[in-house]
Amino acid sequence: MLNLKPRWLVIGLAVTFFVCGSAAAAGLVAPGNDEPDVGTLITGVSDVPTTKDLPAGAAERFGVLQEPRTDEDVLPPSARATGLAGANPKLAHLATSRPTGYRSFIVPAKNALCLISNSGGDACTNLHSIELGRGGTQMSPCGVGLQRGMIRVEGFVEDGVSGLSVVHANGTKTAPSINNNVYYFEFSADGSIPERIEWEQAGERRSTSFEVPPAVLNVACPPISK
C-alpha cells in the first residue's frame, strides 16, 4: 500500500519527455500529453484561472492531498507552477524527496493534477485520463541529483495500488519507490530498457506499457556542477 510518511523512501538543466502509453485499467498513470479533448490539460502557460479547490474526487483517490500541508510542501522557486493549467502552489504537496536534493510535488489544477519538480520538469494529467488509466510517462535524462547516463521516471499512483514493478526488456523486474501517490525509479540508458509497469489493485493484476523514445537515450546532458 502507499506510504504517506516518512516523506521519502530509498529504493541544472532539466530535459523532460512525456511519452504516451496504453493502460489496461485505471489506477496507475503518469503525467503526459493526451488528445486535447474532455478537458485534457498539457504543459505550458494557460489562461485557466488558478484553481482554489481540489478537483472533485482527487482527495479520495490520492490520499496525500488529504494531509495537512507543512513547510516541506512549499514549492521552491525552481519548481515552476505559475500559469500551468491553473495549478495552485498553495495546494501543493511534496511527493518525492531524494537524498540527492531532487524534489517533486503534486499540485492540483483545474480538473487535473500536475507533477512539478525542482529540476524544471512539469506536466499535468486531467482526472478523466486518470480515471481511464490513460496518460504518459515523464522521463528526465538530465536534472537535479541525476547521475550522467541515468534516466528518471515518475508518475501518479492512486491509493490502493500494491505490488508495483517495472518489467525490463530482458525480463528482469525492479520495484520503484512509491511515496505520496507518486512512483519513482531510475534506469541506465546503457542497460535494459523498461517496457512495462505492473501493479495490483482491487484484487486484479494490471499493467501499462510505455515506449522510451530514442531521444531520451541520446540526450547530451551538461556537466554536473560541483
**Mean per-residue pLDDT, 71-77:** 89
Residues of the chain with pLDDT > 70, as a percent, come to 69
pLDDT at 206: 85
pLDDT at 65: 94
pLDDT digits (tens, 9 = 90+) for 99-142: 989 999 999 888 888 888 888 777 788 877 765 555 545 788 88
In this structure, is residue 4 part of a structural domain? no
In this structure, is residue 9 part of a structural domain? no
Residues contacting 128, CB < 8 A, separation 6+:
38, 39, 40, 111
**Mean per-residue pLDDT, 52-80:** 88
In this structure, is residue 24 part of a structural domain? yes
Q: Residue 14: pLDDT above 50?
A: no
In this structure, is residue 222 part of a structural domain? no
How many separate domains does the chain show?
A: 1
Q: Which of residues 126 and 39 earns the better pLDDT score? A: 126
Rounded CA gap, 142 and 216, in Å?
A: 9
pTM of the predicted structure, to 2 decimals: 0.78
Mean predicted lDDT score pLDDT of the chain = 74
Rounded CA gap, 161 and 71, in Å?
A: 27
In this structure, is residue 225 part of a structural domain? no
**Mean per-residue pLDDT, 11-16:** 37
pLDDT at 42: 39
Range of the domain at 114: 15-215
Q: Residue 5: pLDDT above 70?
A: no
Q: Residue 186: pLDDT above 90?
A: yes
Q: Which of residues 172 and 16 earns the better pLDDT score? A: 172
> Distances from the Cα of 94 to the Cαs of 91, 136, 189, in angstroms?
10, 21, 27
Give the range among 32-41, 103-112, 155-164 with minimum mean pLDDT.
32-41
Beta bridge partners of 113: 108, 125
In this structure, is residue 221 part of a structural domain? no
In this structure, is residue 52 part of a structural domain? yes
Give the range among 9-13, 144-148, 175-179 with minimum mean pLDDT.
9-13
Residues contacting 43, CB < 8 A, separation 6+:
18, 33, 84, 85, 122, 123, 124
In this structure, is residue 223 part of a structural domain? no
